[in-house]
Amino acid sequence: MKTNLTQQTAKKKAGECKKLQVPMSELQHIEKQEFDLGLAPDDAYVKYDFLKGDVVVYSHRIADNSLETVEAFVPDEYYRLDSGQIIHKDDIQLASPAELKAKHRLDQPIALFVSG
């Protein structure tokens, strides 16, 4: 007796592929709706510490006191600044209102209060 096992296996695999395509497109549709409604799980979103246009200053371990503007997020927690500098998120911070008014980074206070 001659079998056509190879043909049956190929047809079965083709059928499985067709079955997987429909649910995948439905899944993509559901994921899009979740993003649109803000219901997607937290780990599905890229989290940004700074947004385009944020005014930042370098951390105090960097000698530059100038204000910079965030231009774009670069993968792996880096940001491109308006000066063209690409810097890690830990090396910048949002400029305070006082720094915005002074138009440069201010020195950190040595002590916040003195106890008697």
CB 91 within 8 A of CB 79: no
Q: How far apart are CA 49 and CA 107, in angstroms?
A: 22
Report the pLDDT value the prediction gives residue 103, as an integer from 0 to 100: 92
Report the pLDDT value the prediction gives residue 4, as an integer from 0 to 100: 57
Report the pLDDT value the prediction gives residue 24, as an integer from 0 to 100: 54
Per-residue tens of pLDDT for the chain, all 116 residues: 555 555 555 555 555 555 444 455 666 677 777 767 767 666 666 677 888 999 999 998 888 999 999 999 888 889 999 999 999 999 999 999 989 999 999 887 654 555 55
* pTM score, whole prediction: 0.55
Nearest to 72 by CA among 99, 46, 98: 46
